[in-house]
Every structure is written in C-alpha cells, then in structure tokens.
Amino acid sequence: MKPVIFGLSGPALTPDERAFFAESQPAGFILFKRNCETRAQMRALTDSLRDLTGRDDVPILIDQEGGRVARMQPPEWPEFPAGPAFDRLYDLAPSSAIEAARANGHALGLMLSDVGVNVDCLPLLDLASPDTTPAVASRALGSDPMRVAALGRATLDGLKSGGVVGVVKHMPGHGRARVDSHYELPVVDASDAELEADIAPFRTLNWAPMGMTCHLMFTAWDAENPASLSKKIIEQVIRGRIGFDGLLMTDDIDMKALSGTAGEKAARAVAAGCDLVLDCWARMDEMEEIASRLSEMGAKSRERLDRAMATIASVADSAEMVELVAKRDELLALA
C-alpha cells in the first residue's frame, strides 16, 4: 500500500484509473464536486473503490465543511453552515453552540456515510484574527483557543456518531497566514511564545484519530521548510509539543505554497514524517510520478491508519439527519 490519497477525475472510475489504482494500491481516495452528482451515483462510486481495493474500511475522504467548502451541494444535499456561525452563537450561549456543533457534525456524518464516505476533513482548529486570509477566516471556529477546541471536539463527536472520522486541521495552525497557500507560501514570523496559542487547540484534541498539516513557513521553528515538509516541525511540534500520535496527512500537495514536482513534494513530505500525502487533482502523470517515488507505507503509519478507521461506528440509516438539522438551526437562530 502506497502512503498516498488520490483524487478521481469524475463521477465514476475510468478504465485507466481502475488499472492504475489496482496496481499502485493507494491508502485511500478523496472526492470533490466533480465526483458528487447524486446519492445513487456516489454510493456506486464508493462501493467500486471498496471492491477495487478489497478493503471495506478504505478511507474515502471529502471536504464537506459547510459554507464555501462543500463538495456535495443542493439540490441533492442540504446546505450546512461554516464555522463562524457556531462562533457567533458561542458569544451568546456557549453550551448551545457546542450542542449545535455536535448536532451539525452528526447530521454531516449521516449524510456522508449514507453515500459511503467515511472521512470528513473537518474540523478546522485554526485561530482566526483580523488579518487572517479569508480562505481560512471564513471557515474558522473563532479566535479563542478554548472555544475552538470545544467546538472542534463537539464536531468530532458528532461526526463519529454519524459513522465518519474527522480530521483536525491545519496543524500546527493556519490562522496566522496572511496570504492563501493555494497560491503562495505564507511566512509566519511570530515568536515561539506567540505560537503557543496556535497549537493550544490541537494539543487539547491531540487524541483525534486523524490530522492534516498546513503549508506555512514558521520561522521560529524552521526557517527553511514549510510545516508539511519540515521534519523539525512534525517531530518537535506536532508529535512532540502537541502530542499528536494520530494519522498525519498533508494538505493538498498541488497547492502553490510548495515547490517542486508532485513526486518530489510527496517524497519530501513522507521523509519529513507525514504518514500520508494528499494529492487531489487526479492528473494521471502526476499520480504515476508520486507512486514511483513513494515506498510502501511504513508499519507505524499503517498502525495509525488502522487505528483511525477502527473508530468508525456503525450507522443504521440517515433518517435522523432531518431532525438533527432542525435542532441545529433552532439553536443557531438564537444568534
């Protein structure tokens, strides 16, 4: 098994993809809007991935956050709110905000497990500030570490109740980015002491089964490499000070914050200590290069993967989703 998660080009596997995935055996897959048309289509697609790999628990990921980041969209699926909605409610009623976040996560989990998706790249634990790039601020759960951790925990618990594994992101913190890492490398010059606040929510939830890195340069920790490619940051900060021992994946290595070919970036990320590389765009030449550059998944990474997927709870059906959405909306209306 290769330590990589690949994207798919469309609503069904192509013959080339089927042959390539059967040969390369990626650890998992990630879905985007181009892969999500109808419930029946998505169920057929995820079933085909399980059949192809021979793994009932193969990770099938999606970025279904709510707000601007939603791969499954109306009218086939309901809209979900983004993180700031829960942050606003927390100002007025913290316990209601936590209850709303849990109900929201549970409803999301039921919606995803209904179509065979078992991992959601949520929650964000990044701390928002007035200068945070809108790419993150429009999705964040707030600016206070305790609040973000509380809402993040509720989201993780809700997703788990819906049969889905959550992914805490973006470690060790994306909130100080002033530019969008999709297009350029953010450089953070904050001191080590200042960055304690950024890692606090991740430390509180360091038991999470999965986490995702960020493509930011933190000069206080490593002035030469962004976090996803930094052995210092992964070993000393993420695994060390945060204490995270779950499955660690990169953010999408196609993002322009990183330089080099797809294969070079993938190899550097694994060498730095990431368990998995995330490559989202289903470009066959890039996927082939990545597969050729990566060795088989290491024993410790495989153990983390198996441990994370073993946390998935069985879900009878998705009938409860409507009730959960109504409960969430009633609570959010308080704000």
Give 186-189's long-range contacts (Cβ < 8 A, gap of 24+): 186/133, 186/215, 186/216, 186/217, 186/257, 187/216, 187/217, 187/219, 188/216, 188/217, 188/218, 188/219, 188/220, 189/219, 189/220
Amino acid at 225: N
d(CA 34, CA 9) in angstroms, rounded, equals 7
Q: How many CB atoms lie within 10 A of CB 221?
A: 19
Contact between 112 and 160 under an 8 Å Cβ cutoff? The reply is no
Phi-psi label, residue 260: left if phi above 0, alpha if psi -120 to 50, beta otherwise:
left
Q: What is the DSSP string of 92-131?
A: H-HHHHHHHHHHHHHHHHHHHHHTT--EE---B-PPP-TT
Residue with tokens 């999965």: 210
Give me the active site residues, please: 182, 251
CA pseudo-torsion sign 82, 279, 186, 180? negative
Of the candidates 279, 232, 275, which has an alpha carbon nearest to the alpha carbon of residue 258? Answer: 279
Q: Which helix (H) or strand (E) holds 3?
A: strand 2-7
Q: What is the DSSP string of 201-240?
A: HHHHTTT-SEEEE---EETTT-SSS-GGG-HHIIIIIIII
Of the candidates 73, 58, 72, which has an alpha carbon nearest to the alpha carbon of residue 118? Answer: 58
Collapsed DSSP state (helix, strand, coil) of residue 265: helix
Q: Which helix (H) or strand (E) holds 266?
A: helix 262-272
